[in-house]
């Protein structure tokens, strides 16, 4: 495939949940298409989202129930009405009032209409989808059905014959839960159909879709339930070590993510089949991908499971070179970006550069005391992705306002004065840099402060909920952004 990362482009970071929507969460309906139109009209060529998976109750897209399945809450019901599979007079009197519960019920009703009204072509597309995705879809649909039956408890708390995947018990459950299983497969079919239609529209308008792959998966996921040998678990399926990162810029006690670590010995013996499957499903959906915590391909921070913080861990080596060689052999040149933030060693840099993967530079991290700071623009190389900030950072305006007067002076001294206000000044620096790809969070484009940040690492309350509104995107803001994109040849 073409090297999509070799051209100068500008991009925006905005998750699907952050699209305008009167129901409290963005979806794949008309506002997603309107957002593509905004990107096209402004000259922005890349739309980066966060992972699209099915989150747990905390809403984090980095802790999902499946490495493959899409979040059915992103499905737009108006599009189903246009297809004739959902009618306006359908409602549910038994659901709870939340839109998530209501949507789940309405999708089940849409399947009833689909079964009776869909064309032969439509039904064949559904059948083909179930066949093509069976490698993960069958297990996922059964897993979610059982999870509903056991009141959302983690799989390690299920009855033993289900926890241990007794073949007879699973066969009986598949028969007993066949209706719910079919609904879950239908949800994935509709999600995939709507996402791929959006992708076609974006690509037709010269916009690339940029996805994010968390390096680790959630313990409470179908991936771990089905593939216990892939992960470092004891004979009873429990974790003795969990993933995270040591103390850093974001947290004095580190971050204890709690994800299971990979059993790399087994993965090597299986020729990385699990990773091949995972990458294939994401390459089908996105033009560009980012590996979150790329550092874990060289070595990962292992924390004893009984530790409450990430302080007392250790680095354990991983066969990243062999894995990347295997994936390149399977897929060819992969448009892959390495999230190489945090404690990065020469070995991690060597692994990234050997496979010519762009690294990330965050301008919020640039303005220390040293001219050798790798995040300062004069130290960039073209094969780089520069961000003003990420979903884990404060907004640029919030970040700048939190600096001391001396720190603000140092920023302005480097950037050549304060005649341009923040965050426009930092956006211009990102776009002017030699980095091939420059990504700006939507909050920075809209000149928003700390109250509108997406996530505060190490916390679980109040994250992942930010949405923008179209009235915030005024014509002068869009025109100014378009002009600076053209000015710097993106």
- Give the separation between CA 248 and CA 70, rounded to whole angstroms: 32
Which residue reads 């920075």 in tokens? Answer: 444
- Give the separation between CA 456 and CA 27, rounded to whole angstroms: 23
288 backbone dihedrals φ, ψ, rounded to 5°: -135, 145
Q: What is the bridge-based pairing of β-strands 336-338 and 359-362? A: unpaired
- Give the separation between CA 284 and CA 84, rounded to whole angstroms: 27
Which residue reads 């140092």 in tokens? Answer: 410
Three-state DSSP string of 135-203: HHHHHHHHHHHHHHHCCCCCHHHCCHHHHCCCHHHHHHHHHHCHHHHHHHHHHHHHHHHHHHHHHHHHH
- Give the separation between CA 144 and CA 384, rounded to whole angstroms: 39
The residues assigned a catalytic role are 292, 339, 392
Closest Cα partner for 12 from 446, 316, 448, 440?
440
Please compute, for residue 170, the number of CA atoms within 13 A of its CA located in the half-sphere on the CB side: 15
433 neighbors 385 (Cβ within 8 angstroms): no
- Give the separation between CA 430 and CA 488, rounded to whole angstroms: 10
- Give the separation between CA 389 and CA 94, rounded to whole angstroms: 44
- Judged by DSSP in three states, 120 sits in helix
């Amino acid at each position: 495939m073409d090297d999509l990362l070799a051209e100068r482009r500008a991009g925006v970071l905005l998750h699907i949940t952050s699209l305008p929507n009167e129901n409290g969460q963005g979806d794949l309906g008309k506002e997603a298409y309107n957002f593509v139109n905004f990107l096209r009209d402004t000259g922005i060529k890349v739309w980066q989202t966060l992972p699209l998976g099915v989150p747990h109750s905390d809403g984090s897209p980095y802790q999902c129930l499946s490495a493959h399945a899409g979040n059915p809450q992103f499905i737009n019901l108006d599009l189903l009405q246009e297809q004739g599979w959902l009618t306006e007079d359908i409602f549910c009197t038994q659901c709870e009032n939340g839109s998530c519960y209501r949507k789940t019920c309405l999708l089940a009703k849409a399947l009833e209409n689909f079964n009776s009204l869909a064309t032969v072509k439509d039904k064949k597309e559904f059948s083909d989808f179930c066949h093509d995705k069976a490698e993960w879809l069958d297990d996922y649909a059964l897993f979610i059905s059982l999870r509903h039956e056991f009141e959302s408890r983690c799989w390690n708390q299920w009855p033993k014959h289900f926890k241990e995947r007794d073949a007879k018990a699973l066969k009986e459950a598949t028969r007993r839960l066949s209706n719910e299983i079919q609904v879950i497969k239908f949800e994935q079919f509709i999600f995939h159909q709507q996402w791929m239609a959006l992708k076609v529209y974006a690509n037709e308008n010269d916009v690339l879709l940029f996805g994010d792959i968390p390096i680790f998966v959630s313990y409470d996921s179908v991936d771990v339930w089905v593939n216990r040998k892939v992960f470092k678990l004891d004979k009873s399926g429990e974790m003795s070590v969990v993933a995270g990162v040591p103390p850093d810029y974001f947290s004095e006690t580190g971050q204890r993510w709690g994800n299971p670590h990979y059993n790399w010995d087994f993965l090597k013996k299986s020729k990385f089949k699990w990773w091949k499957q995972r990458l294939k499903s994401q390459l089908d959906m996105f033009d560009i991908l980012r590996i979150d915590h790329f550092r874990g391909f060289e070595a990962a921070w292992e924390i004893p499971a009984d530790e409450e913080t990430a302080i007392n861990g250790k680095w354990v080596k991983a066969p990243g070179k062999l894995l990347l060689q295997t994936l390149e052999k399977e897929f060819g040149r992969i448009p892959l970006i390495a999230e190489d933030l945090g404690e990065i060693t020469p070995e991690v840099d060597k692994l990234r550069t050997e496979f010519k993967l762009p690294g990330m530079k965050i301008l919020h991290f640039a303005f220390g005391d040293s001219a050798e700071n790798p995040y300062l623009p004069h130290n960039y190389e073209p094969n780089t992705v520069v961000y003003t900030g990420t979903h884990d950072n404060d907004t640029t305006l919030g970040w700048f306002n939190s600096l001391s007067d001396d720190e603000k002076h140092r920023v302005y001294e480097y950037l050549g004065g304060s005649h341009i206000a923040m965050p426009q000044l930092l956006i211009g620096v990102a776009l002017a840099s030699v980095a091939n790809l420059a990504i700006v969070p939507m909050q920075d484009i809209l000149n928003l402060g700390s109250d509108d940040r997406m996530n505060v690492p190490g916390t679980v309350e109040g994250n992942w909920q930010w949405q923008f509104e179209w009235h915030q995107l005024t014509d002068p803001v869009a025109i100014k952004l378009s002009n600076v994109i053209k000015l710097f040849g993106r």
